[in-house]
């Protein structure tokens, strides 16, 4: 109890000290970064490029405020000439006996101010300001906050991700609407901690929302959103500038418009799971031998997200288990007709096909089996699973492991061999699915996946960060940090790299990936262009239980009877002997 009171007092004192140093410029709140001694103020983008006549106000804790050599009493108007991103106006001010020497600068991104010492174990109750550029005198809002993430939430990491839940004075849920997005109590702050471009996740998710087809159930359900919207913001933590963040909506039942759990009858309807790590269960190549636990919301690489176990104390994994079991069993069948006939029962095929094209286009190598949400609209109606991508920082050639990186993993001329989700791979390797997937890819290449369109999408985001000065502030704050392996952060240079990478990668996909399955000579099981004893050995190896890729399996069924057995060996021998 004493610890909690001490923590609460620390938060209050930190917030009070920070608020005492705040300026208001025409009502727009400008917090002070106590490290660089810079006041940052969010104003409408329309004011940039113009002189800004603004009333400057501040509390009685500040005195003798001088801006660009002009003494400005609280309530007086000062002209900030030629507002530009990154431009600084010198400031001196007294706070008690202390002299603050710094500057004022402007942005058009919203500013988020957090107060408190947070962790990933439990929520910390605190207060928060969110200053949007088109609003003045923002409200001090109550919230509870915790860290989120796994690799990004290690002790050695510095730029953390946060989950925010807004609450009322009595600590009950309170919905808040920001940036014209949804009205909800839960919001996320995504740091882009390992992203040298800082916008990969935000811009890539927007691309998914634009290019992907709606889930099949959206034909009868309005306003389904299969992805997370958001807004780039600038964040302060306890009076220190922490840089650019993506403040976004979470993926949840409300976004996906799933049917609610019925607490009265304890009936499951809509469900969500997310894939956390890559293993054979998550890849759906082999159903895990352990039974899903009754008392834990995690199982063999998956986490149950909805319904919330902490609220209902019940779990139902059957829909997900059945889908994995189907994928596992059908993958081991030499006859692919079962997969062809039934995959649409377990998975939303159009969405899965779009997902394949999407991650292939971005080379999102951390999303080939994991970082995926699986959702079922209503298991009582149909068990079909829809896919939603998440955490897209590692894409577009991102050097995500600078200390031990293999350039072959991120080169633009890489095949899609890194995609490991079995039902998706099997679709790609069957002509009946591959042909429409290629047609869909070619259709998207004329619109959302047009090369110039792709490049401009990311470059526009970087241009905005540079124009409002946020890029420079981010680079100054995080260059050389161990989060980035002590490398310099240069968003413009990274964007040039990404542009070159996109252009080369899309050319490679056009010429080498999104093409029909190659024709093969009957009996050429190993695909070397010849029919000989090596092909006999390849078939025998499969008969004896050896593993083989999808193409080899198809070629091994030499007599096309749907089975691989001694008859195929005899057919090859007949071909060899003429």
SS3 content of the chain, % helix, strand, coil (to 5): 35, 25, 45
Q: Is 415 found in the same domain as 550?
A: no
Examine the domain organization and report whether 508 and 537 are in the same domain: no
pLDDT digit string (tens) for 61-95? Answer: 999 999 999 999 999 999 999 999 999 999 999 99
Confidence category of residue 524, pLDDT binned at 50, 70, 90:
confident
Burial (CB count <10 Å: 0-12, 13-18, 19+), residue 403: exposed
Rounded to an integer, what distance in angstroms lies between the CA atom of residue 563 and that of residue 322? 25
- Pairwise CA distance, residues 269 & 401, whole Å: 40
Contact at 8 Å (CB) between 478 and 471?
no
Q: What are phi and psi of 147, to 5 degrees?
A: -70, 155
Helix (H, G, I), strand (E, B) or coil at 189: strand
The helix (H) or strand (E) run that includes residue 91 is strand 89-95
Q: Residue 272: which H helix or E strand, with range? A: strand 271-275
8 Å CB contact between 48 and 85: yes
Residue 207: count other Cβ atoms within 10 Å of its Cβ: 22
Asked if residue 573 and residue 485 are part of one domain, the reply reads no
pLDDT, position 448: 98
pLDDT of residue 1: 47
Distance CA 81, CA 17 (A): 30
Domain check: are 445 and 331 in the same one?
yes
Torsion angle of alpha carbons 413, 415, 419, 422, nearest 10°? 170
Distance CA 292, CA 257 (A): 26
469-492 tens-digit pLDDT:
999 999 999 999 988 889 999 999
Confidence band (pLDDT; 50, 70, 90) for 11?
A: low
Which residues does 116 contact at the CB level (< 8 Å), separation at least 6? 7, 11, 14, 124, 126, 145, 238
Q: How far apart are CA 385 and CA 347, in angstroms?
A: 5
So what's the pLDDT on residue 560? Answer: 76
Q: How confident is the model at residue 576 (pLDDT cuts 50, 70, 90)?
A: confident
Side-chain half-sphere exposure of 463, counting CA atoms within 13 A: 6
pTM (predicted TM-score) = 0.90
Distance CA 72, CA 204 (A): 45
- Structural domain includes residue 542: yes
Q: At a CB cut-off of 8 Å and minimum separation 6, what does 238 contact?
A: 14, 18, 114, 115, 116
**Mode of pairing for the β-strands spanning 111-114 and 124-131:** antiparallel
Dihedral sign (CA 108, 110, 116, 122): negative
Residues 51/43, Cβ–Cβ less than 8 Å: no
Q: How is residue 577 written in tokens?
A: 């002997």
Residue of 190, 351, 210 lying closest to 343 (CA atoms): 351
What are 285's two structure tokens? 């190549």
Do 343 and 385 lie in one domain? The reply is: yes
With residue 337 as reference, give the H or E element that holds it: helix 337-346
Structural domain count, the chain: 3
Burial state string for 240-275 with b = 16 or more CB within 10 A and e = fewer than 16:
ebbbbbbbbbbbbbbbbbbbebeeeeeebbbbbbbb
Q: What is the Rg, in whole angstroms, of the alpha carbon atoms belonging to the chain?
A: 28
Of 67-76, 83-92, 147-156, 332-341, give the lowest mean pLDDT range. Answer: 147-156
Q: Are residues 429 and 551 in the same domain?
A: no
Q: What is the dihedral of CA 395, 191, 421, 360, to 10 degrees?
A: -20
**Angle separating helix axes 451-467 and 200-211, nearest 10 degrees:** 140
At 541, give phi and psi (nearest 5°). Answer: -60, -40
Judge whether residue 539 has pLDDT over 80: yes
For residue 397, what pLDDT band results from cuts at 50, 70 and 90? very high
Structure-token match 């860290």, residue found? 147
498 in any annotated domain? yes
Is residue 191, in this structure, part of any structural domain at all?
no
436 and 548 belong to one structural domain = no
Q: What's the 3-state SS for 277-297?
A: CCCCCCCCCCCCCCCCCCCCC
Top pLDDT among 400 and 355 is at 355
Backbone phi and psi for residue 292, each to the nearest 5 degrees, phi listed first: -55, 130
51 is in which domain, residue-wise?
2-108
Tokens of 100: 């603050």
Same domain for 332 and 401? yes
Share of the chain above pLDDT 70, in %: 95
Residue 521 has pLDDT above 90, yes or no: no
For residue 293, name the pLDDT band (cuts at 50, 70, 90). Answer: confident
Tokens of 262: 């019925």
Quote the CA–CA distance of 45 and 133 in Å, as a whole number.
8
Q: Is the pLDDT of residue 205 over 80?
A: yes
Phi and psi for 344 in degrees, rounded to 5? Answer: -70, -15
pLDDT band, very low/low/confident/very high, at 443 (cuts 50, 70, 90): very high
| Residue 332 placed within a domain | yes
Mean pLDDT of 493-519: 95
What is the structure's pLDDT at 225? 97
Q: Residues 489-503: pLDDT tens digits?
A: 999 999 999 999 999
Choose among 203, 515, 198, 550: nearest CA to 358. Answer: 203
pLDDT of residue 522: 76
pLDDT confidence tier of residue 12, bands split at 50, 70 and 90: low
Percent of the chain with pLDDT over 90: 78
Q: Which of 108, 133, 152 is the last residue of a domain?
A: 108
Q: For residue 22, what pLDDT is reported?
A: 93
The answer to whether residue 229 sits within a structural domain is no
DSSP string computed for 125-179? EEEEEEE-TT--S---EEEEEEEE-SGGGSTT--S-EEEEEEB-TTS-B--EE-T
Model confidence at 17: pLDDT above 70: no
Residue 538's alpha-carbon distances to 330, 430, 545, 561, in angstroms, are 21, 20, 11, 18
Both structure tokens of 463: 């241009």
Q: Higher confidence at residue 333 or residue 306?
A: 306
Average pLDDT score over the chain: 92
**Which of 55, 90, 108 is the endpoint of a domain?**
108
For residue 445, being part of any structural domain is answered with yes
Domain final residue pick, 108, 125, 143:
108
Residues 544 and 508 in one domain: no
pLDDT tens column, 542-570: 888 887 876 788 788 888 777 898 988 88
pLDDT interval class at 529 (50, 70, 90) = confident
Q: Examine residue 160 and state whether it is found in any structural domain, yes or no.
A: no
Same domain? 418 vs 320: yes
Question: Has residue 403 got a pLDDT over 70?
Answer: no
Question: Do 559 and 480 lie in a common domain?
Answer: no
Q: What is the pLDDT of residue 332?
A: 85
15 — pLDDT class (breaks 50, 70, 90): low
Asked whether residue 356 falls in the same domain as residue 482, the answer is yes
Residue 56 has pLDDT above 70, yes or no: yes
Rounded alpha-carbon distances, angstroms, from residue 494 to 157, 457, 471, 552: 22, 14, 12, 40
Question: Does some domain include residue 137?
Answer: no
């Amino acid at each position: 109890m004493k610890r909690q009171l001490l923590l609460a007092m620390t938060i209050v004192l930190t917030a009070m000290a920070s608020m005492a140093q705040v300026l208001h410029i025409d009502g727009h709140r400008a917090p002070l970064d106590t490290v660089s001694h810079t006041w940052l103020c969010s104003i409408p983008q329309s004011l940039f490029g113009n002189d800004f006549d603004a009333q400057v106000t501040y509390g009685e804790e500040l005195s003798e405020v001088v801006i660009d050599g002009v003494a400005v009493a609280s309530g007086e108007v000062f002209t900030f000439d030629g507002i530009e991103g990154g431009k600084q106006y010198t400031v001196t001010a007294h706070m008690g006996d202390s002299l603050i020497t710094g500057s004022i600068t402007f942005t058009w991104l919203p500013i988020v101010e957090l107060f408190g010492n947070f962790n990933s174990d439990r929520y910390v109750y605190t207060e928060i300001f969110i200053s949007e550029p088109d609003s003045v005198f923002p409200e001090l809002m109550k919230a509870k906050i915790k860290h989120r993430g796994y690799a990004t939430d290690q002790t050695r990491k510095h730029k953390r991700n946060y989950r925010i839940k807004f609450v009322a004075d009595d600590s009950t849920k309170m919905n808040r609407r920001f940036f014209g997005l949804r009205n909800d109590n839960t919001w996320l702050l995504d740091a882009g901690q390992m992203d040298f471009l800082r916008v990969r996740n935000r811009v890539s998710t927007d691309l998914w929302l634009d290019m992907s087809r709606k889930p099949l159930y959206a034909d009868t359900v309005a306003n389904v959103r299969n992805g997370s919207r958001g807004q780039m913001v600038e964040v302060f933590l306890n009076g220190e500038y922490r840089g650019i963040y993506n403040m976004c909506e979470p993926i949840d039942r409300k976004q996906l418009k799933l049917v609610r759990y019925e607490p009265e009858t304890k009936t499951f309807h809509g469900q969500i799971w997310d894939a956390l790590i890559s293993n054979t269960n998550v890849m759906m190549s082999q159903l895990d031998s352990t039974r899903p636990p009754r008392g834990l919301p995690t199982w063999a690489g998956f986490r149950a997200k909805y319904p919330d176990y902490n609220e209902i104390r019940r779990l139902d994994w059957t829909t997900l288990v059945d889908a994995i079991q189907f994928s596992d069993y059908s993958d081991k069948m030499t006859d692919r007709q079962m997969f062809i006939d039934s995959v649409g029962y377990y998975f939303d095929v159009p969405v899965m096909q779009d997902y394949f094209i999407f991650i292939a286009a971005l080379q999102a190598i951390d999303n080939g089996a994991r970082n995926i949400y699986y959702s079922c609209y209503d298991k009582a109606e149909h068990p079909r699973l829809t896919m939603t991508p998440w955490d897209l920082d590692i894409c577009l050639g991102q050097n995500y492991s600078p200390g031990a990186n293999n350039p072959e993993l991120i080169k633009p001329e890489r095949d899609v061999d890194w995609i490991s989700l079995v039902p998706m791979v099997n679709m790609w390797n069957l002509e009946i699915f591959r042909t429409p997937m290629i047609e869909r890819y070619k259709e998207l290449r004329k619109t959302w996946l047009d090369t110039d369109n792709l490049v401009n999408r990311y470059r526009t985001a970087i241009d905005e960060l540079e124009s409002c000065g946020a890029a420079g502030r981010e680079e100054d704050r995080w260059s050389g940090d161990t989060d980035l392996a002590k490398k310099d952060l240069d968003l413009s240079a990274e964007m040039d790299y990404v542009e070159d990478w996109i252009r080369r990668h899309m050319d490679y996909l056009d010429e080498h990936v999104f093409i029909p399955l190659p024709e093969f000579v009957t009996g050429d099981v190993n695909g070397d262009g010849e029919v000989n004893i090596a092909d006999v050995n390849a078939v025998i190896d499969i008969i004896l239980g050896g593993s083989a890729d999808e193409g080899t399996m198809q070629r091994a069924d030499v007599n096309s009877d749907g089975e691989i057995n001694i008859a195929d060996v005899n057919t090859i021998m007949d071909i060899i002997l003429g």
